[in-house]
Amino acid sequence: CIILSILSISVLIDAGVNPTAPISDTVCQPGSTLRIAWQDDGKSPSIASFPKLIVYFMSGSDQQQKYLAKVCELLPSNSQLYCDHVIPQVRPVGKWYFYRFTDGANTTNEYYTTRFTITDSNGQYPPATSPAPPSGKNPGQDGEIVSNSTNSSPTSLIGSSPTSSSSIPTSSSSDTPASYVPVAQASKTAQSNTKPSSAQTAKQSGSSKEVADSKPSNVVSGASFLENTKELVFSVIVGLTLNFLVLPI
C-alpha cells in the first residue's frame, strides 16, 4: 500500500478512536498488507474502557454501509493500536472502501476511517470523484470481495482475525497406490504381458523340432515293413520249392 500521510479524517467524528491509517491518499493492490492504525483521542469513553475493539472492512454509502469482512478483534487492555489486513481482490476497484471500528457492545460507539483506494491486480484504478462529496453524504459504491486468495498473510494480530489459505492437495509419490499403472504405460504393459517368455519360446521351438524329427522315423518304419515283406515272400517261395523236390515220383 502507498500511504502518503499519517493523518486520517474520520467519516464520523466521535470520542474514543481516532483512526490514523489508512488515509484518503492510500492506494492498495490486492495481496498487499495494509496496517490499520488508530489512537485514543483522549476523550470519553477511552479505548481502554471498551470490552473489545472490532475492525470491519466496509463499502457503500455514508447512509447505507455494506459489510464485507471482519478484519480483527482486539482486547483494548493489550494497548495494541493497530492490526494488519491482507487486501483482497474486490469489485469494483477504486476509492470505495473503508474500515469501521466498534466496541462490540454499544453500536453507538462507532468510528470510521476515510475511504481509500483498492486497485486491480495490475495496479490500475479509475480516478476518484472530483470534487469529493461532502462528509456524511458520500454515495460511495457497494463493493464486494472477489477473492481472498493471496500469497501474503496478516501479521501481529491479537484476538480473532480472518485468515486466507489454499487447500489443494498437493500430490506426492506417497499418495500413489502401489497397484497404480499410468494410462500411458497400461497399453505397453498389456502388450508385454501377451509376449511369450523365453522359456515358453524355447519349449515351443523344442516341440517344433520334435515334430520335424518324427518325420524321418515314419520313413524308416515304411522301409522296414517293405524289407520284412520281401523276406516273407522269399521264405514262402523257398518253402514251396523244397516241398516240390521231396515229393515222390
pTM confidence score:
0.56
Determine which of 28-32, 93-97, 118-122, 196-200 has the lowest per-residue pLDDT on average: 196-200
248 — pLDDT class (breaks 50, 70, 90)? low
CATH code of domain 17-163: 2.60.40.10
Question: What pLDDT does 4 receive?
Answer: 39
pLDDT tens string 194-209: 444 444 444 444 544 4
The grid coordinates of residue 149 equal 486468495
pLDDT tens string 138-195: 999 999 999 885 443 333 232 333 333 322 233 333 333 333 233 333 334 344 444 4
Instruction: Give 50: exposed, middle or buried? Use CB within 10 Å, 0-12, 13-18, 19+.
Output: buried
Beta strand residue intervals within 79-153, DSSP E: 82-86, 89-91, 94-102, 110-112, 116-118, 144-147
Q: Tell me the torsion sign for CA atoms 62, 67, 71, 77.
A: positive
Distances (CA, A) of 203 to 79, 197, 206, 208, 210: 90, 10, 5, 9, 11
Question: What pLDDT does 221 receive?
Answer: 52
Question: What pLDDT does 226 receive?
Answer: 67
What's the DSSP call for residue 134?
A: P
Domain residue ranges of the chain, discontinuous segments joined by +: 17-163, 197-249
Q: Is the pLDDT of residue 219 over 50?
A: no
Report the relative pairing of strands 53-60 and 94-102 from DSSP bridges. antiparallel
Question: What pLDDT does 120 receive?
Answer: 97
Q: Which residue has 520281401 as its cell numbers?
A: 230
* Residues in Cβ contact with 25 at an 8 Å cutoff, skipping those fewer than 6 apart: 2, 3, 4, 5, 116
pLDDT tens string 4-54: 333 333 333 345 899 999 999 999 999 999 999 999 988 888 888 888 999
Q: Which residue has 496478516 as its cell numbers?
A: 154
What's the DSSP call for residue 2?
A: B
Question: What pLDDT does 247 receive?
Answer: 52
67 — pLDDT class (breaks 50, 70, 90)? very high
The grid coordinates of residue 67 equal 459489510
Q: What distance in Å separates the CA atoms of residue 98 and residue 142, rounded to the nearest whole number? A: 12
